[in-house]
Amino acid sequence: MFPSEVLLIEVLLQADTILSMNVVRENLNPHNTIELSFEQEDNNDTASLMMLKVKNPFNKILSFDAYIFALSNSEWTQTSIIPVQPNTSGFEIWYDPIANLVLENWKFSPLDRKTTVDSNTKNEREESYHPEKTNEWLKRNDIRLNELPLAPADEINYACDSTLYLKQISGDTITYWTYGWRTPIDTIKAIEWKENSSYGISSYFKKVNYNGTLTSVNLIPRAYFIRNDSIMEEQKFYHISNDSLSSLYRLAYSTNDSKKRKHYEDIIQNNSFNKFKLIYHPGIFVNNIYEGNYNNDKITLIDRWKCRDRKYFAIEISNYRSNGEVYKYTLVFDENHNWLEYDGCDKIGIECMKKREFKVHYR
């Protein structure tokens, strides 16, 4: 599914077994039709909010697997999904731009079926929808919010808004591990998620939501090479076309055979490479625009100003994605190549920036 897309899926069931699923133009059989909508909302002050709405008309629990193609890391990634209860609508929210969404492995299960994750029961599933119960669960499992207990202490930092991130320095290369995607999950899914090898190193639980779910956060690395007034940003590229890449991802995530999936994932990995692209140097702009880097980005010097005898710069990086949409994001830094959002929390610089008139595009 693409942003703003709406789908109607008519389902033929026999007991709990799906016999067929067909996309239809009109909802002529509302008691047998799943309604899907994938929406995107942007504003000047916050990052993109992506929301999937799933209306389940059946008297059974609906579950499925979901894979997102997040623009922040340009890769397909499986994301946690909370099952949709009978005769209700379920919502999944991500706070990062998503170019495409794949839903598969649809299943129905009886309402009274018990959860089989570890020794958890149906009651434990129900208690995860109450904030106070979720906080008790966190205490029982000795989990602290907004922390990375397994990451090196000298790499852990907090932005001005207390957002957790990692900063790694190696020679002229600086890597920031910042928000990649955020997903609400219940405590049953959280048990599985906590077993992931990245938990505590580059992923963590941020907060308890009003409905008792937990917001899980995965950090994504963004590397920059800085030398001689030049800033270069690392990006993943592929030796194969976007169509071929999409086909390989579809093949990988549409099979239940782990060997086949690994085979397709290996093909993707073997055809990928990372390369630094130039995004800033004082002398590259002609009429405040530069379009000559490796990725053919359009880089616009949208503003520059002085505050406390320090110079600041704002650039906008934009390009076309495979679906024809324009993807853009804004970077703001000072004359010493320190990012305002991070690098010591330059509060005065941020206040000066707020008085400027350019629009910040988050990614």
Residue 322 predicted with pLDDT over 90: no
pLDDT bin (cut points 50, 70, 90) of residue 74 is low
Query: What pLDDT score was predicted for residue 115?
Result: 40
Q: Which of 235, 200, 229 is nearest to 327 (CA)?
A: 235
Report if residue 50 sits inside a domain: yes
Other C-beta atoms closer than 10 Å to the C-beta of 100 total 20
Pair (4, 98) in one structural domain: yes
The total number of structural domains in the chain stands at 3
pLDDT average, residue stretch 202-210: 90
Which of 63, 92, 113 is where one domain is finished?
Answer: 113
Give mean pLDDT, residues 123-133: 61
Stretch 75-93: mean pLDDT, rounded? 81
Q: Are both 132 and 201 inside the same structural domain?
A: yes
Domain identity same for 15 and 82: yes
One-letter amino acid of 200? G
Residue pair 22/10 in contact by the 8 Å Cβ criterion: yes
195 part of a folded domain: yes
The pLDDT score that the predictor gives to residue 50 is: 81
Angle in degrees, CA 144, 346, 299, rounded to 5: 105
Q: Share the mean pLDDT of the chain.
A: 83
Average pLDDT over residues 85-96: 80
List C-alpha distances in Å: 143 to 8, 107, 149, 208, 263: 40, 31, 10, 12, 36
234 and 336, same structural domain?
yes
Examine the domain organization and report whether 204 and 236 are in the same domain.
no
Alpha-carbon distances of 258 from 11, 103, 261, 292, rounded to whole Å: 27, 18, 5, 42
- State residue 277's pLDDT score: 95
Give the pLDDT score at 312: 93
Average pLDDT over residues 185-198: 82
User: Could you give the residue ranges of the DSSP H alpha helices within the chain?
Assistant: 122-127, 131-140, 187-194, 242-253, 258-270, 347-354
**pLDDT interval class at 48 (50, 70, 90):** low
Residue closest to 21 by CA, chosen among 3, 38, 36: 36
Report pLDDT for 72: 63
Q: Are residues 160 and 63 in the same domain?
A: no
Q: Is residue 360 part of a domain?
A: no
At 73 the pLDDT is 62
Note the pLDDT of residue 162: 82
363 within a domain of the structure (yes/no) = no
Q: Give SS3 for 342.
A: coil
Question: What is the reported pLDDT for 117?
Answer: 39
**Which of 68, 93, 113 delimits the end of a domain?**
113
Q: Is the pLDDT of residue 123 over 50?
A: no
Q: Are residues 277 and 178 in the same domain?
A: no
pLDDT of residue 112: 55
pLDDT digits 0-9 by tens, 151-186: 999 999 988 778 889 999 999 999 999 877 777 788
Say yes or no: 269 and 342 in one domain.
yes
Whether residue 105 sits in one domain with residue 63: yes
Tokens of 335: 């004359």
Neighbour tally for 342: CB within 10 Å: 19
What's residue 192's pLDDT? 79
| 96 within 8 A of 182, measured Cβ to Cβ | yes
> CA 129 to CA 213: how far, in whole Å?
6
pLDDT at 126: 46
Longest CA span, the chain: 72
Query: With 50 as the cut, is the pLDDT of residue 127 above it?
Result: no
Answer with the one of 113, 132, 156 that is the final residue of a domain: 113
- pLDDT tens for 283-292 read 999 999 999 8
| Residues 45-50, mean pLDDT to the nearest whole number | 58
Compute the distance between CA of residue 228 and CA of residue 45 in angstroms, rounded to an integer.
33
- Asked whether residue 62 is assigned to any structural domain, the reply reads yes
Amino acid at 272: S
* pLDDT at residue 47 greater than cutoff 80: no
The confidence band for 97, taking pLDDT boundaries of 50, 70 and 90, is confident
Structure-model confidence comparison of residues 279 and 78, the more confident one: 279
**Do 106 and 121 fall within a single domain?**
no
The yes-or-no verdict on residue 118 having pLDDT over 70 is: no
CA separation for the pair 199, 197 (Å, rounded): 6
User: Within a 13 Å sphere around the CA of 133, how many CA atoms are in the beta-carbon half?
Assistant: 14
Range of the domain at 271: 228-354
Token pair 């994750």 is found at 117
Nearest-angstrom CA–CA distance, 220 and 216: 13
Q: With beta carbons less than 8 A apart as the criterion, state whether 125 and 188 touch.
A: yes
Q: What pLDDT band is residue 327 in, cutting at 50, 70 and 90? A: confident
Do 133 and 201 belong together in one domain?
A: yes
Same domain, 65 and 177: no
pLDDT for 275 equals: 94
Q: Which of 99-113, 123-137, 262-276 has the lowest mean pLDDT?
A: 123-137
